[in-house]
Structure 1
Amino acid sequence: MGLWARLGAVLFGDTASAGDPNGWLIRAVNGGKTHAGTAVSEHNAMMLPVVYACINRIANPIARFPIKIMRPKAGGGVEEVTDHPLSRRLGARPNDLMSSRTLRKTVQGHALTWGNGYVEIERNGRGQAVNLWPLLPWNTNPVRQADRFFYRTRIDGTQFEIPHDDVLHVMDVSQDGYIGRSPVFLAREALGMALALEQFGAKFFANDMKSGGFLMHPGKLSANAQGNLAKPKGERAGKDQRTDAGALLDRQGGLDNAHRVKVLEEGMKFIQTTIPPEDAQFLSTREFQIAEIARMYDVPLILLQSHEKSTSWGTGIEQLMIGFVRQTIDPWVGAWEQEMNWKLFTEEERRQGYFVKFNMNALLRGDSASRSKFYREMFSVGGMSPNQILTLEDFDPIGPMGDHHFVPTNYSTIENAIANVGRTVSAPPNPDAPQNREETP
C-alpha cells in the first residue's frame, strides 16, 4: 500500500469500491438495489410509515422517562444529587440548543436506524460533565489503533478525534462489541419489499387502477391512428411530443386522464398480462410486511394500529404495555444507563456511587385497582412507607412522619412469639414451695 493509500486509510478508514452495495457511499446515496428492485438506506427507511411508527414507539418512552442523578445515602437507601453540574440539565436541557427529550429521541432514533447513537460529553476544568451533544452516526465511527481507542467524527466539514470516555455510545446488536449493526441494513430485503409494495400500489392507482398489459392490433397501426392515440383529442403534437404507438399509455393513462373515455383505434384489443392486485393478495402481503418490520423492532402489532394478529401477552392493553416495556424498552434503557453511569462521572464520583436512573414506574404500575392492592400489601408488611407510595404516584409527600414504616400490632416474629408464650403460660403449682401470702387476723 502506498503512502497516500495509507494516509487515506488513517483519515477515512478502509477503502471500498464505489459500486459495492454494502459500502457507505451506495448506502448514503440510495442504499443500493434490493432483490425487490427498490433502494433501501438508513435515510429513506423512515419513509415507510411502519418504520417511523416503530421508532416512535420505542424512542418516545425513552425520551419521556424522568431521569435523575442519584447516590447512596449514609443511613441506607438513595437520594437525588442536586449539586452536580448536570443535575438540573440532564432531565431538562442537556445543552443550550435542545431539550432532554429532543436529544434522547434523536440519539435513540439513530440507534434504531443506523445501529449506533453517539453523544459527545462536554466537560469542565474538573472533568465533570456539563453538556451533552448528539453526533451524526454517518459521520462518526469508533477507531481502535494499537492501544488507542477513540471516536472519529466530522462536524461542519472538520474532522475531530474524541476520547473514548467522552462519547456515550448506545447500540444494540454488534459483532465486535465496538460498533452496532444497522437494523435497516440487516432487514433491507424486508424493507425493500415493503417499499416495492408502496410503489406498486401508487402506480396501480396512477394507472386508473388497471393492471399492466399490451394492445393487440389486427394489422399495422396507421400513422393517423398513432397520432390520435398519442395525444388527447384537440391537443396538437408539438416538437417535444412523442407520436409513436408506445406513447399512448403515457397519453391516456395517469390520474389526469382517469375519467376520460379511451378509444382503441382500428380494432385493437387490450390484453392484460399482470395479475390483478386482488388476485395477488396485495393487501395481505402489505400486512405481512408490516408484521415483518414490527418483528424486526420487537413492537407489538396492536401498538402500530394493526389488528391482523392478536397478542398473547395477557388479556388487556395494560398487560401488553407492561410486557412491551420489559421486553423492548428496558434493554434500551439499560444500554443508556450503563453508558451514562460509567462515562458521565469522574473517578471520584463513581467511588461515591453516583449513578443515573430512568424512572419507568409510570409505564409499569398497571391499573389503579392493581396498584392499590400492591401498595396495601407492601404497606401492611412494612415494606413501603406512605411517602414512598405517594412518590410512585407522583403525589407530594406528607412530611417526615410519612417516612415511617408501619406493621399491624397483632403481627410478631417467631422469636417474640415464643418469648411471649413463656411469659404468659403459668407453671404447675409446687406444694413444697414456700407460700408468701399474709395471714389474716
Structure 2
Amino acid sequence: MIRFLKAAARGIKQELRAGESGWVNLSGGDPWSVGGHSSAAGKTVNATTALAVSAVWDCVRKTAQVISTLPLAIYEKGEGDSRVKVEDDLCEILCENPNREQTAVEFWEGMTAHAVLRGNGCAEKIFLGKRLVGLKPLLNITPKRNSASELVYDIYDRGKHSTLPADKVFHLRGFGAGDGLGMSAIKYGANSIGAAIAADETAGSVFSNAMMAAGVLSSEHSLNAEQRDQLQAILTKFSGSSKAGKILTLEAGLAYKQLQMNPEDAQLLETRRYSVEDVCRWFGVPPIVIGHSAEGQTMWGSGVEAVMLSWLTLGINPLLVKYEKRILKDLIPIEKRKRWYAEYNREAMLQMDSKAKGDFLLKMRMGGFMSGDEGRDKLNLPRRGGNSDELVVQTSMGLVDLLGKEDK
C-alpha cells in the first residue's frame, strides 16, 4: 500500500509538471492538449486551441511539410573537397524508415511540428545492442534537469512512467535553446494567439445568429414580467441562422427596430486580418505563404517570388542547419563525425518555371559546372552514360589579336 501511494504521488507530480511546462498531459487524451497558458483575451492557449486558428495551423503545416519533403542524405568527405554519399543503416533510418509505423516524411513532419509549435520535438533512440535501428516519436514527455543539472526526460508510455537519459533521446530544439530546451511559440505568443481565438469566436457567434444585429422592440404599453418572458420565448424561435427568413408576427402595438451592423463589423475584418499577420510573425512565416495578402497585393509576381525566397533563406534554412547539426551531434557515431555529415538538398526548395529551369541547366552545362547526366537527373530523366557524364565548357571565345591569323 505504501509503495502504491508513493507511485501515485509521483504520477501526480509528473502530471503537474507536464501541465506547467506545456507538454503533454501524462494522464492521456489528446496529445496536443497540454495544460495551457492564459492570455489577455481570457482564452487558454495550448497546442490544441492554437491549432484551431487557421493561421497557426497553416504556419506550422507549411513549415513542417517543406522541411519533411526535402531530400536528406549522409555524406563522407573525400580528397580535394569531394564527397561521397554514404549508404548506411543510419541513412535508412533518417531518409526512409525511421520506425515500423512511419515513413521518413511523416516522422520529420511530426518532429518539425512539435519543434515549431512547442519548441521541442523528441524521439526515442531504439537500439539493438549498440546499433541504432530506429527512432520512435515521444509525445507524453517532460524534459527537465536533474539534481546534477543533466538533461533527462520523464515519459509516460503504455501506462508506465520512466525516465530516459539524454543519450537515449533524439531532441530537436526550436528557437532559443540556450538552456538545452527550445522556447515555445504558444507560450510566448499566448496573447497574440489568444486574441485570434477570441476574434474567431466572436465572429462565429455573430454568424450563428444569421449575421443579424440585435434589435429592439418598442410599444406604447407596459409589459409585466410574465409577458416579457413570453415575448422572449417567442423571439427565441426566430433567432439563429437556421431560422433566417421566417416571418415574425407582432401584436399589442409592438414594433421591431433593427440595430444596423455592416458585414465588415460583423466579421471583425480588420481585427482578424491583423491577427493573421501577428501570428505569422511568431512563426516566422510571411502571410503570403499561408494565402494571406495585404490590401492591393496580388498572389503572383516577382514581388511574391522575392518574399518566398526570403522565407526559405531566413525561415527554413536556419531550421535545416539546426537539424543537420543535431543529427551530427546525436546520431552520427562519434568516430565518424569528422568525416560524415548530414545535408539537406536546399535546391529542391527552389522550383522554377520551364523556361527559367532550361536557361539555368544550359548555363550550368556550358559553364562546365554540371554534366549532361546531372542535368537529366534534375529533370527526372534516365542517364545516357558515355560522354553525357563528362564536363564540357564553351570555348568559342578567343583573343582579339589572334583573329584572322592562321595556325602555323
The TM tier, using the shorter chain, reads 0.7 to 0.9
**1:276 Cα deviation after fit:** 5.9
Task: Say what the alpha-carbon RMSD is for the aligned residues.
Answer: 4.0
Q: 1:11 to 1:354 in 2, by over 3 A?
A: farther
Matching residue of 2:101: 97
2:93/2:135 contact within 8 Å kept:
no
CA 1:331/1:156 → structure 2, altered by over 3 Å: closer, same or farther?
Answer: same
Q: Is residue 2:120 matched to residue 1:133? A: no
Give the structure 2 partner of residue 396 of structure 1. Answer: 382
Cα separation, partners in 2 of 1:172 and 1:311, compared to 1, 3 Å: farther
Question: Structure 1 pair 200/410, CA: closer, same or farther in 2 (3 Å)?
Answer: closer
Alpha-carbon distance in structure 2 between the residues aligned to 1:124 and 1:173 = 33
Match of 1:150 in 2: 152
**1:288-367 pair list within 5 angstroms:** 288-309=274-295, 310=297, 315=302, 317-351=304-338, 353-364=339-350, 366-367=352-353
Paired letter, 2:136: W
Q: Give the Cα–Cα distance (whole angstroms) in 1 for the partners of residues 148 and 11 of structure 2.
A: 15
Q: Structure 1 residues 125, 402: closer, same or farther in 2, change over 3 A? A: farther
Residue in structure 1 matching 2:206, options 198, 204, 207 = 204
1:317-374 C-alpha deviation (Å, 9 max, x unpaired): 54443332222111111121111111112122324x2222222212225334334434
Hey, what does 2:44 align to over in structure 1?
39
* Secondary structure in structure 2 of the residue aligned to 1:131: strand
Letter in 1 for 2:231: L
Count matched residues: 391
Question: Which of 379, 384, 396 is the equivalent residue of 2:365?
Answer: 379
Instruction: For residues 178-202 of structure 1, give each alpha carbon's deviation from its aligned partner in whole angstroms, at most 9, with x where no partner exists.
Output: 1111111211111112111211112
Contact 2:120 2:171 in 1 (8 A): yes
Alignment correspondent of 1:237: none
1:112 to partner: Cα distance: 2.0
Q: Does the CA-based 8 Å contact 1:208-1:255 persist in structure 2?
A: yes
Residue 327 of structure 1 aligns to a residue whose secondary structure is: helix
Equivalence map 1:28-177=2 (5 Å):
31=36, 33-74=38-79, 76-82=81-87, 84-126=88-130, 128-136=131-139, 139-146=141-148, 148-174=150-176, 176-177=178-179
Q: What percent of counterpart residues are identical?
A: 25
1:124-171 C-alpha deviation (Å, 9 max, x unpaired): 323x322011111x6231424326333232223322322323322222
Partner of 1:193: 195
Return the offset for 1:58. 0.7
Q: Deviations over 1:53-104 (max 9, x none)?
A: 111111111111122222123575212212x223334222211111111111
Code of the aligned partner of 1:341: L
Distance apart, 1:204 and its partner CA? 0.9
Task: Tell me what 2:181 maps to.
Answer: 179
Q: Which residue does 2:273 correspond to in 1?
A: 287
CA distance in 2, matches of 1:384, 1:70: 19
Query: TM-score, normalised to structure 2's length?
Result: 0.80
* 8 Å contact from structure 2 (residues 22, 118) kept in 1: no
SS of 1:190's equivalent in the other structure is helix
- Cα deviation for residue 271 of structure 1 reads 7.7
Structure 1: 5+ residue runs without aligned partners? 233-247, 415-419, 427-441
Distance 2:365 2:249 in 1: 82
Larger radius of gyration: 1
| 3-state SS of paired residue (2:205) | helix
Moved more, 400-409 or 43-52: 400-409
User: More displaced, 304-313 or 67-76?
Assistant: 304-313
